[in-house]
Amino acid sequence: MNANLKIRSLSLACLFLICVSPFAIAREWVDQTGAYKVEAELVTVRDGKAYLEKPDGQIRKVPLKLLSNKDLAFISSMPRYEAQVKPFLPSTLKPTTSRSPTAKMAIVQVDSPDASGSIRQFRSGSWGYKGLEFSNDGAYLFTLGNDNITVMDINASRQTAYKIGSGSRSTLAFSPDGKRLFAGAREGIVLTWKHDGKGKLEAENEFTIHKGEVKAIAVSPDNQHAMTIHYPNAACLWDVESGEVLAGFDDFHFTSGGDIRFSRHGGQVMITDGRIGAVIDVASQKIIQHMELSRGSGQFAKITADGSSIATGRTYDIHSFHTRSESKPTVMEGNESIWSAEFSPNGKRLISGGRENVKLWNVETGMPVKKFQMGDGGYVHHVAFSPDGIHFAAIGAPIGQLVEVFRLSEAESGR
């Protein structure tokens, strides 16, 4: 199954131009003359150009001045692009409503919506928790115990444990449609459950993917394939329904950790082990892009949702590498050992777990935004952001017996 693949280095400027939003919809784009038309999804807008991804995964850069007024109005309806499009949009034309669907997020009840800080605590009476994952609507938290998977209803402050047999498991991931939950184990085993969208799980499958410990899991946008990374150096692409391994890659060093992101159509996968970042073409099962990051893997490695940044832990500091430019990495300077981290969904913030606390960072400036104290002592080895970026969760206490949920104000979250 393993493919001994030669890594090709490409220009950093064209590296990792991917977006993993499972909710994007392809539409027809037309130029000003009406002669040129293409079916594609909008990936991003940058430097006066719209980046459009065709169904075959090819990226087309189209100058905004060449797009039809209807397309310009469509782009300007998205707040993050409005300022860039406005100079090209006729003053008589109003923005249209974006047709891209969004996930319906749960509303978490709090006393003061504008306040920030701890809003919920969930405790284990026995073994500690490992791994954290929010449901796709942000209503539930999922975590792993020694012999169970625990579902935490955030609004109801209620826990439900499902027995799964003893074992060492610490990695969780949801499919993009929210209907299936995955958990990775030390023995290279992946467990799957069906999720009803209301916090209830039904055991489904148990697959042995690789002999090495599962470090991270990601599922393709069409919910058909999964990629797992395994200690010490393997990445495996496999079929979600059958567990059949379709391709294996051994060009990495997952001694500490790593991360995975699928492109929006699932045609490519970005992987990092902290030393390098690489893009795998799913169809050809080859590594097609490569970026050197650092000599060592660090304590962790994380990728933003749009693939524009990769963060790695360096003892006390965090280095955030920019995958689409040749600029130097942004350094977030700390004063204690950092054990975990996660980017916010919009990529503007990063949380990091230290001793008895979680720090919130501004990714662009590298400066700390706020420090959140945990309810118990101990190092924070697991953190997770909610899909809307309003909340985050962390596992604390000496042996991980506390899961604490925090809320961010609008300014803190960068929304």
Query: SS3 of 84, please?
Result: helix
Name every residue whose Cβ is closer than 8 Å to that of residue 116 and which is 6 or more positions away in sequence: 370, 406, 407, 408, 409, 412
313 vs 300, 337, 397, 409, CA distance in Å?
5, 9, 21, 26
**Residue 315 domain-assigned?**
yes
Q: Report the 10 Å Cβ neighbour count for 294.
A: 15
- Cα dihedral value 112, 117, 119, 120, nearest 10: 180
Q: d(Cα 190, Cα 243) in Å, to the nearest integer?
A: 9
CATH of the domain at 381: 2.120.10.30
Instruction: Put the strands of the sheet holding 402-407 in their side by side order.
Output: 117-123, 402-407, 391-396, 382-385
Place of tokens 């490695």: 301
CA-to-CA distance for 101 and 139, rounded, in angstroms?
A: 19
Residue 289 located in a structural domain: no
List per-residue pLDDT tens for the chain, 415 residues long: 444 333 333 333 334 444 433 334 567 899 989 888 998 888 888 889 998 888 777 888 999 999 998 888 888 777 678 788 888 887 655 444 433 344 588 889 888 878 899 999 999 877 789 999 999 999 999 999 888 999 999 999 999 999 988 777 889 999 999 999 999 998 999 999 999 999 999 999 999 999 899 999 999 988 999 999 999 999 999 999 999 999 999 989 998 889 999 987 788 899 999 999 998 888 888 888 888 898 877 899 999 998 889 999 988 999 999 987 778 999 999 999 999 999 999 999 999 999 999 999 999 999 999 999 999 888 999 999 999 999 999 998 788 899 999 999 999 998 8
Residue type present at position 238:
W
Cα angle value 70/75/79 (rounded, 5°): 140
Q: String of b and e for 103-124 (b: at least 16 CB within 10 Å)?
A: eeebebebeeeeebeebbebeb
Q: Confirm whether 394 is domain-assigned.
A: yes
Please report, to the nearest 10 degrees, the dihedral formed by the alpha carbons of residues 394, 233, 208, 387 taken in order. Answer: 30
With respect to residue 155, please indicate whether it lies within any of the assigned structural domains: yes
The SS3 call for residue 273 is: coil
38 vs 25: CA distance, rounded Å:
13
In a domain, 119, yes or no: yes
Give the total number of structural domains in the chain. 1
For 221-225, which contacts have Cβ atoms below 8 Å and span 24 or more sequence positions? Answer: 221/20, 221/22, 221/176, 221/262, 221/263, 221/264, 221/265, 221/266, 222/266, 223/175, 223/176, 223/177, 223/179, 223/180, 224/266, 225/266, 225/282
The model's pTM: 0.79
Q: What are the pLDDT digits (tens) for 45-81?
A: 888 999 888 877 788 899 999 999 888 888 877 767 8
Residue 84 forms part of a structural domain: no
Domain limits for position 372: 105-161+299-415
Question: What are the helix and strand counts (H, E) for the chain?
Answer: 3, 33
Report if residue 307 sits inside a domain. yes
Q: Are 369 and 349 in contact (CB under 8 A)?
A: yes
Q: Indicate whether 42 belongs to any domain.
A: no
Residue pair 351/383 in contact (Cβ under 8 Å)? The answer is yes
For 302-335, give one letter per residue: b (16+ CB within 10 A) or e.
Answer: bbbbbbbbbbbbbeebbbbbbbbeeeebbebebe
